Amino acid sequence: MVDETLAKSFERTGADYDRFRPGFPAAAARMLIPEPVGVALDLGAGTGKFTEQLLGRADRVIAVEPAAPMLDVLRSKFPDVEAFEGTAESIPVPDSSVDAVSVAQAFHWFDREPACAEIARILIPGGMLGLLWNHADPACAWDRAAHQIAHPAVADVDGTSASAAEDLPGFAFVERAELRWSERITRADYLGRWSTVSTFLVADDVTRTEMTQAIERILDRDPQTAERAEFDLPLVTDLFLYRRS
């Protein structure tokens, strides 16, 4: 069941989410849309972290997002994207009008059955759906330890992809891919990233401070991050591909 408090916590953020959250590898968009299509829609688009990867892969790119602060950032970054307020359970586009739908870091917030029905409604027959999640690389001990403190619900490698499955109503499963990549990040931005996570957003000031201090202690003790203002952060992007039945 979706935790509504956690889900709605993102309604209060926008610029910080865009500044601190990681993007997604271009390879994910190429797998979802191997050849250019007419219309691609990014659902739960946030500030456009994955929307950006759709540009150039479709004649029209549409973004749908329920949180106005995030949509404001997306519109300012990508004025050519058709951006609408909406939810996965009520997508403001016509039937069979979209060639491909992406859902990056958001499907676990959806009401699964009605969301799948809506996505199937807007896709053309045989249209593609891609579900994506970034998560910690299991080989990176210090990042995994930070997840255990700040976001234990998704600390396990497959935690954020638990909502995906080979059996998705209205869709035929195509494949799952695990894309490994890394980013160079400053210590300040790494700490700032945690401030945009739902558990931080809903926490009281004392709890938020305690979690931040605990993550700082991890960075101070690990030889890969201790006394460094900048370091490499390995990431894994899980991509689940489906075709509308």
Q: Is residue 195 part of a domain?
A: no
Q: Is residue 216 part of a domain?
A: no
- The CA angle 177-80-12, to the nearest 5 degrees, is 70
Give the pLDDT score at 166: 76
Q: Is residue 213 part of a domain?
A: no
Does this model's pTM top 0.75? My answer is: yes
> How do 123-136 and 230-244 pair as beta strands?
antiparallel
Give the pLDDT score at 6: 45
Q: Is residue 212 part of a domain?
A: no
Per-position pLDDT tens, the chain of length 245: 454 544 454 445 678 889 999 999 999 999 999 999 999 999 999 999 999 999 999 999 999 999 999 999 999 999 999 999 999 999 999 999 999 999 999 999 999 999 999 999 999 999 999 999 999 999 999 999 999 998 776 544 444 455 777 789 999 999 999 999 999 999 999 999 999 888 888 899 999 999 999 999 999 999 999 999 999 999 999 999 999 99
Q: Is residue 149 part of a domain?
A: no
CATH number of the domain encompassing residue 58? 3.40.50.150
**77: how many CB neighbours lie within 10 A of its CB?**
14
Residue range(s) defining the domain that contains residue 179: 4-138+154-183+234-244
Q: Is residue 81 part of a domain?
A: yes
**Domain count across the chain:** 1
Give the pLDDT score at 7: 43
Tell me how long the chain is: 245
Of 41, 42, 44, 32, give the one whose Cα is nearest residue 2.
Answer: 44
Query: In angstroms, how far is CA 107 from the centroid of its own chain?
Result: 8
Instruction: Tell me how far apart the 2 most distant CA atoms of the chain are, in Å.
Output: 55
Secondary structure letter of residue 90 according to DSSP: B
Give the pLDDT score at 161: 55
Are 139 and 234 contacting, i.e. CB atoms less than 8 angstroms apart?
A: yes
- 98 to 103, 142, 190: CA distances (angstroms): 14, 41, 36
Q: Is residue 24 part of a domain?
A: yes
Structure tokens at 34: 């191997």
Q: Is residue 72 part of a domain?
A: yes
Structure tokens at 52: 């950006």
Q: What's the one-letter identity of residue 155?
A: A
